[in-house]
Structure 1
């Protein structure tokens, strides 16, 4: 194989290739001519990725879908002669902005709860607590290290001590909107101001669930292609 390559290259010009011991040397620089690969298509949803794969636009070769993270999915071919793969399309999720471990004032936190989190029981409880805190009495806070209580409105014209739920099970938008958002535990804390913050408390387990949800969605949406052996998926 090396001998054939040497004869072919020497035949092109004055380049000489010699073997010294186990090493092969050339008298001139030699550059590899690589097989070109296409630019990767960028989409922002799983549905766009599915539509591309169903179209067969770039041929019918077997492809692999890689769920890289809760927000990134890529599709590529097998490697070519140069051991490079064609990265055909990549989906990156559009998710609303929310910073965990950051303190928000009560009004901004209230808005974030309604716009960045899927409606569930714990979210609604938190909205009632945050929306009814009496600012002039917020310094009257009970804290045993795990749960807190604050002075808040508990009726139309009454004020009382309200237990702040902790931990809370919430479903923030953290992956593609086409799939179910994973529910996970958060530590909910409050400070004078009033200010509120959420701290993740599941060790990142939600990422594994989100990737599993993406894989299930793609397997269902591309069932015909999977059954025909055109696609392989890993997560």
Structure 2
């Protein structure tokens, strides 16, 4: 008990500040008391929430806030809305927008039925997706797939009837737009290598990424373009966009 009492008394005592060679030292841990209070940030899942926050002047009622907004596009699926540095050299984070869109299982072979569903669920639909679905649907009821592949064009022979077969040339890579970033922004076009193979369990299909993740930079540019388009022009001087 005596030891604890002495330690408590020492803890409550004022710190001693010593100056050595122009540098100041203290015999206790000191904690900085900020001059400005900071709010806790909100978590959202859309880019429009960031625009709404800025456009509706949600900080106008706070008289001592006069620094500009900073929209930091951290990645293809993450954006934060901050204030500029305050007097404590800190940036107040107001909103963190996170995209949690489900994505296509790239690089993995799947059954024809699952592939067709996934292509229709996880991609913007265009002529290319329709051709893929049409091709793969022709081999739904067969376990036999014959293919000729020279690295550039894969030729697939798939039975479409009891006595007939059709031959379709599949150029690679294919250009598709998967849902991969905020739904508010334009989805970037990406390159994929499309493959079909047969097996004991029937035919299966897969898409392999073929752009070296360059699409992530394209997605970031699309997010920036969204903010440049949607933030009212009269507020642009008060908003910095970092991408």
Deviates more, 1:151-160 or 1:138-147: 151-160
**SS of 1:31's equivalent?**
coil
Residue equivalent to 2:29: 29
5+ long unaligned stretches in structure 2? 1-12, 61-65
Do the aligned residues in 2 keep the contact of 1:72 with 1:92 (CA within 8 Å)? yes
Describe the shift of the 1:36–1:128 C-alpha distance in structure 2 as closer, same or farther (beyond 3 A). Answer: same
Describe the shift of the 1:96–1:134 C-alpha distance in structure 2 as closer, same or farther (beyond 3 A). Answer: closer
Q: TM-score, normalised by structure 1?
A: 0.85
**SS of 1:115's equivalent?**
helix
1:211 matched to 2:220? The reply is: yes
Do the aligned residues in 1 keep the contact of 2:142 with 2:159 (CA within 8 Å)? no
Aligned residues: 223
How far is the alpha carbon of 1:170 from its aligned partner?
0.2
- Output aligned runs, 1:1-235, within 5 Å: 14-34=14-34, 35-59=36-60, 61-133=67-139, 135-153=141-159, 158-192=164-198, 193-227=202-236, 229-235=237-243
Structure 1 CA distance, aligned partners of 2:59 and 2:163? 67
5+ long unaligned stretches in structure 1? 1-12
How far is the alpha carbon of 1:16 from its aligned partner?
2.3
Do the aligned residues in 1 keep the contact of 2:70 with 2:81 (CA within 8 Å)? yes
**CA deviation string 1:167-225 (max 9, x = no partner):** 10000001111222111211111222311111111122212221111111111111334
Do the aligned residues in 2 keep the contact of 1:62 with 1:230 (CA within 8 Å)? yes
Structure 1 CA distance, aligned partners of 2:234 and 2:105? 39
Do the aligned residues in 2 keep the contact of 1:66 with 1:233 (CA within 8 Å)? yes
Structure 1 CA distance, aligned partners of 2:48 and 2:186? 14
Structure 1 CA distance, aligned partners of 2:140 and 2:203? 9
**SS of 2:142's equivalent?**
helix
Do the aligned residues in 2 keep the contact of 1:103 with 1:196 (CA within 8 Å)? yes
